[in-house]
């Protein structure tokens, strides 16, 4: 029987980093499914090495402490209490897609009122790449990735408030090393491009990233975590509005959540949805990959 870790400890642990602005990483998904930063965007090499904690920064203002935090692991803990079963690790594209679809957040995952946003799922054979001009383009999925799935949801506009748009991305790499390199490379993108074009009429600016291995800067939820904060503007929704992105790695799988605010929406509303999304996805990865308790 597979040990299933409760979702709540993940939420509180990630909240310590997210709501206090102590973690770091890079970007989201175009409203029409076009190229834009997702969970996994850089593979193969990275000059900073495999430790994503090399960069830092945060543009968030007046951060609030996490609500009702649960106890965090002992300071003596040096690694995540997670042991993957090699026999459960995806080895084919079909296995990876099944896992990605099982893990990727659905509308109900984000909280009450969220619905599917069109396009709901991306083409799993497409991979967003940030070009030399800091514009996101779609390319074929690299050989180091078995599958990558993106899902888009939103809390619709109502009562004079704009929509909260969220994106979940699950990328299943061939090896843990491939996933680790991808995390490191992701950090470099913000350093190179603090302003990025997501698609025609959409931009993110004032980007600042930070990374943390397990046990650092409040990360007790995953083996590696990155976050990115900034401002989002679009021809449709105006702006600048609040923008936040979180990416985490467990074994050979990376997951990312992106939140975009709008007129009348608070940072706390966006954060609450992101915590729900990333917490549930991390819990699902453990359920899928963890070795049975002895």
Residue 164 has pLDDT above 70, yes or no: yes
Cα 168 to its chain centre, rounded Å, is 7
User: What's residue 86's pLDDT?
Assistant: 92
Closest C-alpha to 170, from 254, 107, 287, 228? 254
Q: In this predicted model, what pLDDT tens digit does every residue of 175-192 receive, in sequence order?
A: 999 998 888 888 788 789
Contact at 8 Å (CB) between 73 and 244?
A: no
User: What's residue 43's pLDDT?
Assistant: 39
Tokens 């549930």 found at: 280
Tokens standing for residue 199: 């698609």
User: What's residue 96's pLDDT?
Assistant: 96
Q: CB-based contacts of 73: which residues, under 8 Å, 6+ apart?
A: 81, 215, 220
Question: How far is residue 224's CA from residue 221's CA, in Å, rounded to a whole number?
Answer: 9
Q: In this predicted model, what pLDDT tens digit does every residue of 33-92 receive, in sequence order?
A: 455 555 444 433 333 333 333 333 333 333 333 333 334 454 445 677 888 889 999 999
User: Edge-to-edge strand order for the sheet containing 196-199?
Assistant: 115-121, 145-155, 164-173, 253-260, 238-250, 224-234, 202-213, 196-199
Contact at 8 Å (CB) between 293 and 3?
A: yes
User: What's residue 216's pLDDT?
Assistant: 67
Tokens standing for residue 12: 């509180």
Contact at 8 Å (CB) between 11 and 276?
A: yes
130 bridge partner residues = 136
Task: Output the CA torsion 85→86→87→90 (10° steps).
Answer: 110
Residue 228 has pLDDT above 70, yes or no: yes
Q: What is the pTM of this model?
A: 0.78
């Amino acid at each position: 029987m597979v040990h299933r870790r409760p979702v709540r400890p993940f939420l509180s642990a990630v909240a310590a980093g997210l709501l206090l602005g102590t973690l770091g990483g890079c970007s989201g998904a175009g409203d029409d499914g076009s190229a834009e930063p997702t969970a996994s965007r850089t593979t193969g090499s990275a000059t900073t090495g495999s430790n994503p904690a090399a960069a830092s920064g945060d543009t968030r203002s007046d951060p609030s402490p996490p609500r009702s935090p649960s106890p965090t692991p002992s300071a003596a803990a040096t690694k995540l209490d997670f042991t993957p079963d090699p026999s459960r690790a995806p080895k084919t594209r079909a296995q990876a897609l099944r896992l990605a679809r099982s893990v990727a957040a659905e509308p109900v995952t984000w909280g009450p009122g969220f619905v599917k946003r069109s396009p709901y799922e991306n083409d799993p054979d497409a991979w967003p790449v940030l070009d030399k001009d800091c514009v996101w383009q779609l390319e074929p999925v690299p050989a180091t990735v078995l599958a990558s799935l993106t899902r888009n949801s939103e809390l619709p506009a109502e009562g004079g408030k704009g929509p909260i748009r969220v994106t979940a991305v699950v990328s299943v790499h061939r090896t843990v090393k491939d996933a680790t390199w991808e995390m490191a490379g992701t950090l470099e993108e913000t350093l190179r491009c603090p302003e990025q074009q997501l698609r025609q009429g959409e931009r993110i600016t004032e980007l600042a990233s930070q990374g943390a291995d397990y046990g650092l800067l409040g990360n007790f939820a995953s083996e590696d975590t990155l976050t990115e904060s900034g401002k989002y503007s679009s021809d449709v929704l105006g702006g600048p509005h609040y923008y936040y992105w979180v990416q985490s790695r467990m074994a050979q799988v990376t997951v990312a959540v992106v939140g975009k605010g709008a007129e009348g929406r608070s940072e706390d509303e966006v954060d609450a949805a992101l915590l729900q999304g990333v917490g549930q996805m991390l819990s699902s990865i453990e359920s899928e990959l963890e070795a049975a308790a002895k």
